[in-house]
Structure 1
Amino acid sequence: MNGRGRIAVDSLLTALAPVVWGSTYLVTTEFLPPDRPLLASLARALPAGLILLALSRTLPTGVWWWRSLVLGTLNIGAFFYLLFVAAYLLPGGVAALVLTIQPVIVLALSSLLLSERIRPAHLLACLLGAVGVGLLVVGPEAALDPIGVLAGVAAAISMGTGLVLTKRWGRPEGVGLLGVTGWQLTAGGMVLLPVTLLVEGVPSTISAVELAGFAYMSLICALLSYVLWFRGLERLPTLAVSFLSFASPVTATLLGYLVLHETLTPIQGAGAAAAIGAVLLVQLTAHRPPPRRAPKRRASSVVGARSGGFRDESPHDL
C-alpha cells in the first residue's frame, strides 16, 4: 500500500471514533438515567480503563504517573463531564457542532508546543468552522441552553489541549497503545469517582435499558473509539485528526433527524455546512509537505565566483 493509501486508511479508521461519539447524545437522552452527567462520565471511563489495564498488564512509571493524570483529566475526566452536560441540555446535533471550535484550539497550541506550521488553508478552515458554530449558536432555536453551550465550548478546550499534549509527549518506549489508552481512561475515571460519589451518589436502581446504555458508552464510545483515536494521533498530523472530529456532528445530526425527529433552521443548516466543509479543506492540505526552501549559498562559493574560480551551479542554487 502506498503512502496515500495508508493515509486514507488511517484517516477512515480514526474517523470511526468521532462517528461513534456522535451517538453519545442520542444514547444519553434515551438510554441513561436523567440528570446524571458525572455518573455517565464515570461509567464510560473507568470500566474501559480497567479492562485495558488488565489486557496490557502495564502501569505507568516515572513521569508518566503525572502525565497520565493530566492527559486523563483533559481527554477523559473533564471532557466527559462537560460533554454529558452539553448532551443533557442541547439537541444532539447542536451539542456536537458547538464542540467544533476544538480545531481552533489545536491549531494555536500546535504552533506553540509542536512547532507545526500554520498555513493559510488552516486559518481559512478554522474561520469556516467558527462561522459555522456562530451561525448555529445565534439561531432562534429555543433549546440553545447557555449553560449547555458553555459546557460544549469548555469540553472543546479541554480535549483540544489534551490532544496536543498527547501528541507532544507520545508514549514511553516499550509500552503499547492499549496500555497508554488504559492509563488515560483509568486516570480520568479515578478523578471522576470521588466527585460522583459526593455530588450525585449511586442510584438505588438501574434498569436493563440503562445498563445497556452504560455498557455501550464504556465498551464502544470509550474503549474501542479511544484506541482508534490515539492510534490515528500517532500516525496523522494533529490538526488533521482534530478536524476529523467533525464526523461527530454529522452522526449526531443524522441520528437526530432519523430517530428523534429534530430539525435545524436554515441558518443553522448553513452553519453546519460551513463547519463540515472545514474538515475537507484541512484533509486536502494537512498531509502535503511544506514547500522546500532553497539553501543559502556558501560563502566559499561566492568567494570562488568572485575570484574567477569554478562554481557548480545546481538547480537549487538557481
Structure 2
Amino acid sequence: MTGYILSRLLRAMLTMLITVTLVFLFIRFSGDPAAALVPPDAPQEVIDQYARAMGLDQPIWQQYLGYVGGLLQGNFGFSIHTGLAVEDTFLERLPYTLRLGITALALAIAIGIPIGAVAAIRRGSSLDRLVMGFSVFAFAMPNFLFGLVVILVAALSFGAFLGGENASVIWPALTLGLAAMGSFARFTRSSVLETINAPYMRAAEARGIPFGRRLIRHAAPNAAIPLVTLIGLSLGALVAGSVVTEQVFAWPGVGQLLIRSVATRDLAQVQFLVLVVAFTMVTANLIVDLLYLIIDPRIRAK
C-alpha cells in the first residue's frame, strides 16, 4: 500500500513538472512575450527594455531556472493591467467559480445518480428508455447553446435577465451541470447493471437476502468505484470547466478572467491560470487514487 501511495505522489509531481515546463516553452516559443506586452507600433527600443526587465534577454535555460525558482518561492508574477499579483486577482474571482461549480456538481449528482440507478433497476422499461434518452440529450447538448436558450426564454417570456453577478446561481449551474448529469446517469446505470448481475449478487439472492439489502450492502459499494473516478474528474474541472458558461451568463468567475486575460495578452495571468487548472486536475486525480484504497480492498491487499 505504501508503494501505491508513493507511486501516485511521484506521478502527480512529475505531471506538474511537465506541465510547468510545457507552459514555459509554449509562452516563449509562441512569439516574443515582450512584444506581446506593448502596442503593435511600439519601437524596438521599447520592446528591448521590456525584454531586459523580464529577463528575456538571458539564455533559455537561465530563464527556465529562474521561472521554476520563482514558482517555488510563490512568485507568480503581476498582471500588466491591474498591477496586482496574479494570485490576488485569481482569489478575488475564485469564490464565484467555486459557488457555480459546486452547485452544478451537486445538481448533477443529486439528479444523475438516482435516475441512473432507477433506470438500471427498471431495465428495459419505458422509464429506462426515458432516462437514457435524457442522458444522451444532456451529454450532447452544448452548454453554451442551452444557456442561450435559457436566457432567451427567460427574457422573452418573463422579462427576466438570468445573468450577471447578482443573479441566481441555479440557472448557470444547471447549464454547467447538464452534461455531467447525463454522464452520471449513464455511468450509474451501466455500473449498477454490471454489479447486480454479478455472480456474488446471485449467490446473495439464493441465500435469501432481501433485494434492498443486497442493493445497499453489496451492489452500491462496488458500483461506486467508477463513479468516484467520474466525480473526481468533475471536481478537477470546477475551475476550468465553467469558462463558456460564465461568459454566457456574465458570471464574474475565473473562466471569464481567463478569457479576458487571453484577449488582452496578460501573459502572467494566463500562465498562472493554466497552472492552477493543471494543479486542480492533478490533485483531483490523486485524491481519487487514494480513495480507491478505502473503497476497493483489492488495492489495499497489494
TM-score normalised according to structure 2 size = 0.28
Return the structure number with greater relative CO, CA threshold 8 A, min gap 6.
1
Q: Between Structure 1 and Structure 2, whose CA radius of gyration is higher?
A: 2
